Amino acid sequence: MDIDSLNDKQKEALLYNEGPLLILAGAGSGKTKVVTSKIAYLIENEVPSWRILAITFTNKAAREMRERVAMLIDEDVSPMWIGTFHAICVRILRKNIENLGYGSNYNIYDRADQNTIIKESYKELNINKEIYNSRTILSKISSWKNEELTPSEVLDGNKEDIFNFNAGKIYEFYQNKLKENNALDFDDLLIKTVELLREFPDVREFYQNKFKYIFVDEYQDTNSIQYKLIKLFCGKAPNLTVVGDNDQSIYKWRGADISNILNFQKDFPGAKIIKLEQNYRSTQNILDVANSVIKNNPQELSKSLWTKRQGGEKVYYKEFSVSSEEEFAVTNKILGLNYKGYSFEDMAILYRTNAQSRGFEESLSREGINYKIVGGLRFYDRAEVKDIMAYLKVINNPLDEIALLRIINKPKRGIGDSSIEKIRDYAINNNLSMFEVIKNIENYEDLNVRAKKNIKSFANLINLLIERKDSLNVGELAELVVDESQYVEDLKNQNTLEARTKISNIDELISNIMSYDKETSLSDYLSNMSLLTDVDKTSDAKGVNLMTVHAAKGLEFKIVFLVGMEEGLFPIIRQDEDEDIEEERRLCYVAITRAEDLLFISSSKTRYLYGKMTPKIKSRFINEMQDTIEIVEEKNQRLIDVIDYSGKIDERITTYKKVQTPNKSIKSVNVGDKVKHKIFGQGMIVQKKEKNGDIEVVVSFENKGLKKLLLSVAPIEVID
C-alpha cells in the first residue's frame, strides 16, 4: 500500500497503532481515507481482518469503507466486522440473545410496528389516545430506554405524575408485547447488547479478545448507550481509534453527547490526539468564513481549517426586503450559473427547517428547473413493499403478530375484522399466539364455516411457505410468496395506473432480493432491511438539491446557497441557552463547509409567518462572519432582484421586447419596481415576462403574498 499520498498528519495517524487515539478530523480533511488506509496498513502488517471492528453511523459509510479497504490491499476483507452500531449488535445478538430469554429468530420492529403496539395499549389499558399520542409515547419510551430505565422504575418514580405514570404503563405493556412477539425495537438492539456484555463475562471476554483493533467513525455523534457499548468492547488496554469533529456535533436533539469526544482523554488515559486541519474540499475564502463562525464556540479541542486552494471566489451575503425576493434571486442566480456551465446537480439550497423549501420549490418550478428534495418516502415505506416484507417476517418468525395482522387479509381473502378480533381475544384468553389459533382454526367454534375455510386457507399458505423456507434462497422464497399469495394477480385484476405502479415496486423488491448472496438467510436479509436508514435513502430525481442543513451533513456541492439566515430561524433558538446556541453555530459551520467553489448566503428583512408578514433581523452568525464575507449593498432598489450576489446585472433576465399595453397608468415596469394595487395593496415586482402580446408580472405583496398579473388589465401603479 502506498502511503505517500497522505499528508504528514494523516501519516502520523496511520502509524499510531498502540493505545487509544482520537483523530480530530475537520470538514473535508480526508478522514475516510485515513481510516481505510489505517485498516489496510494493519492487515498488510499481519493483523487478521477478523480481529478488526469498524463501527459507522450509516450503511452507506460501512459499504464505502469496506470497498475502499478492499481496493487498497490484495486480500479478502470479508471476515472484518464493519457496520453500523445496530448492525454490529444484530450480529452479536443473533448468536447470544438466548442468554437473555429471546429466540435467535427475533424480528426487528420498525416505527409502524411500534405504533401498532401503542394503539393496542389504548384499548387494553383504557387510555385516551388523544392525550397519549403514539409519537410522544414512543419518544418517551426511547428516552427511558437510553437512560436504562425499566418500566417498573419509571412507574415507581412517577407515582405523583399522572401523565408519566400512565406513559409508564404503556411502556410496560409495550415491552411485554415485544417479548411475547419475540421482537426487538431499534433501541433494544443496543440496550440488549450492552446488557448481554455486562451480565455475561464469558460473552464480553470473547468479543474483547476477538477485536484487537477497534475503529469508531463520527464519534461526536455517539450517545450514552453507544459510548457504554464502546467501553465494553474495549477492555482494559484498548487499541481504540475514534474519528470525529466536535465542531460538527449537530445531533443533540436525538441523543448525541458532545462530551464523549471532549472527554476522550479522561475516559481513555494516555490517549493521543492528532488533528487533521488541511481541507481538500473548499477554497480558503470559504474556510475563512467557517473558521470565523466556529471560533465563537468554546475551544476545548480547537482547530483551524486551511487549504492549498488559496483565494477563490468571495463569499457573498445579501439581505433582501422579503423572502419571496430571496427565493427569486436564488433562482435567478441558479439560472445564470447553469448558463455559465454548472449543472443543476452541482448546486444545493440549504435551509434550517423543512418548511422553508416551499417557496424555493415554487420559484424553481416557475422557471422549469428540476429539483429534488433530499429525503422523502422511502422505498421500504411503500404499502405494497411492506406487505411482501410482512409475509417474509411471518415466515421467519410466526410469533410476529403485527406482521401477521398486516397480511391476514392481503390480498382480500374474506377474513373480516370481527373474525380477526375473535381470534385475537381467544389467543389472549388462552395464552396462545395468534398463529397457533389460526393453524388449528377448525377447533375454534365461535366462527362461521366460511370464515373458518378462509382462515384455514391462509394458514395452509403460511405453512407451505415456512416448509419451503430452508430449501430455497431468500430470492426464490420471495418469488414464491408473490406467486402463492396471489398478491400481484390481485393487482393485475384491478387494472389501474396505481396498481401497475405497485406491481413495478414489487418487481423492484424481488430484483433487489435476488441480488443478495444465495447463502444469505431469511433472518439476515430481514435484519439488513430493518437496518436501512433514512440517511441512506435519497430521491432518485436529478436537479438542484434542496435540503435541511442536517440532511446535508456528509455531503458536498460545488455551489451552495445558505438561505434564511435570520434570528429565530437560524439560529432557531426558543430559549437562548449557551448549549443550544453552540449547537446552532456548529450547524452553521456544517452548512458553510458543504461548499467546494462558491457560497452565497442570504436573509430577508420580512418573512411570511403564521399568516402575516413578520419583521426579521439578520442572524448573529452574519455578524460573526462579517469580516470574511462580501456584503452586497443595494444602491438601486429598482434592480434589487436582478442584481446577482456580486452586484452585476443579469442581462438574460432584464432584457425584454418592448410591448405597448393599454394600461395608460404604466408606461414601463422593471423587476424591483414598487407598485400599488387597488385591492392587494403595496408590493414589489419580482418577475416579468412577455405573454401573448401582453406583459405578465409576478408581484410580492406585503399582505397578500405572490400574485400573477397582466399589465393590460391590472389596476396597479408604480410608486416611488
Q: Residues annotated as binding site for ATP?
A: 25-32
Is residue 25 within 8 A of residue 245, CB to CB? The reply is yes
Active site residue 500: no
d(CA 11, CA 581): 35
Torsion of CA 499, 501, 507, 510, to 10 degrees: -90
Residues sharing a CB contact under 8 Å with residue 172, sequence separation 6 or more, in sequence order: 151, 152, 155
Is residue 538 within 8 A of residue 548, CB to CB? The reply is no
d(CA 659, CA 95): 78
- Direct distance between the N- and C-terminal alpha carbons of the chain, in angstroms, rounded to an integer: 70
The conformation of residue 57, written as its DSSP 8-state character, comes to S
Residues sharing a CB contact under 8 Å with residue 90, sequence separation 6 or more, in sequence order: 108, 189, 527, 531
Q: Where are the beta strands (DSSP E) in 365-440?
A: 371-373
Active site residue 667: no
Q: What are phi and psi of 16, to 5 degrees?
A: -90, 105
Among residues 110, 218, 583, 597, which one is catalytic?
A: 218
Binding region: 25-32
Helix (H, G, I), strand (E, B) or coil at 5: coil
Among residues 9, 31, 169, 281, which one is catalytic?
A: 31
Among residues 120, 217, 247, 400, which one is catalytic?
A: 217
d(CA 677, CA 686): 15
Amino acid identity of 177? K
Cell of 494: 384491478
Torsion of CA 25, 578, 546, 135, to 10 degrees: 110
- Burial code of 113-146, b = ≥16 C-beta within 10 A, e = fewer? bbbbbbebbbeeeebeeeebebeebbebbbebbb
Among residues 193, 226, 248, 307, which one is catalytic?
A: 248
Among residues 11, 12, 32, 661, which one is catalytic?
A: 32
Cell of 531: 437496518
d(CA 594, CA 365): 24
Dihedral of CA 124/127/129/135: which sign?
negative
Do you know the residue count of the chain? 720
Count the Cβ atoms, other than its own, within 10 Å of residue 453. 13
The conformation of residue 19, written as its DSSP 8-state character, comes to S
Active site residue 281: no
Active site residue 31: yes
What residues are labeled active site?
31-32, 217-218, 248, 594
